[in-house]
Amino acid sequence: MATSLKNLSAYDPASVPDCSEFKFGIVVSEWNESITSALAQGCVDTLVKHGAKIENIRLHTVPGSFELPLGGQFLLDSSDTDAVILIGCVIQGETRHFDFICQAVAQGCMELGMKYNKPSVFGLLTTNNLQQAIDRSGGIHGNKGDEAALTAIKMVHLKRKLK
């Protein structure tokens, strides 16, 4: 569904499982920092709102969005994290760079989850312009960081439920 038809931060809190026993890793791109820091804050706030202990949330930065999957791998290799959330923002420019970065991060995110059998959440904004990024990082369309946190919680819960 198009974001313009749905607020990324709108959801039924009763539908979200308690995550007080879950451990989360968040990898945040430093590129477009004003956007990614707002996304990361939304992510952390939502995790805490649903019971995550601050000491069970590990937040690390990487230089750019291309480095997000490898940062996630480093985090999963070095901890007992239940899920990793990749937070970044790529804004369309004049060259095809946008396409290559977005595709690489999406593929890397999927491969990370499959390799570790743990949720790897794609929290990458892929926008046409800065205003769209602002609108999706706490603006009129909510915060993609909230959505990424909810996805991580629900996926860890599903994995534990199926064990």
Query: What one-letter code names the amino acid at 88?
Result: G
Secondary structure string (H, E, C) spanning 27-90:
EEECCCHHHHHHHHHHHHHHHHHCCCCHHHEEEEEECCHHHHHHHHHHHHHCCCCCEEEEEEEE
| Domains along the sequence of the chain with CATH | 28-162 (3.40.50.960)
Confidence bin at 14 (pLDDT 50/70/90): confident
Given a cut of 70, whether residue 5 has pLDDT beyond it is no
pLDDT in tens, 93-145: 878 888 899 999 999 999 999 999 999 999 999 999 999 999 999 999 999 99
Question: How many angstroms separate the CA atoms of 113 and 106, rounded?
Answer: 11
The reported pLDDT for the residue numbered 54 is: 97
Name 59's Cβ contacts closer than 8 Å, sequence gap at least 6: 25, 26, 28, 40, 44
pLDDT for the residue 22: 97
Percent of the chain clearing pLDDT 90 (strictly above): 85
Alpha carbon distance 9, 146 (integer Å): 6
Cα distance between residue 13 and residue 16, in whole Å: 6
Mean pLDDT calculated for residue range 18-31: 96
- For tokens 């995110």, the residue is 109
By annotation, the residues acting in catalysis are 97
92: nearest Cα among 122, 153, 133, 145: 133
pLDDT at res. 95: 81
Strands 142-143 and 137-139: antiparallel
Contact 104, 64 (CB under 8 A): no
How high does pLDDT run on average in the chain? Answer: 93
In terms of Cβ atoms closer than 10 Å to its own Cβ (0-12, 13-18, 19+), residue 139 is middle
Q: Residue 96 has what pLDDT?
A: 83
88 bridge partner residues = 124
pLDDT at 2 exceeding the cut of 80: no
Does position 30 have pLDDT exceeding 70, yes or no?
Answer: yes
**pLDDT band with cut points at 50, 70 and 90 for residue 4:** low
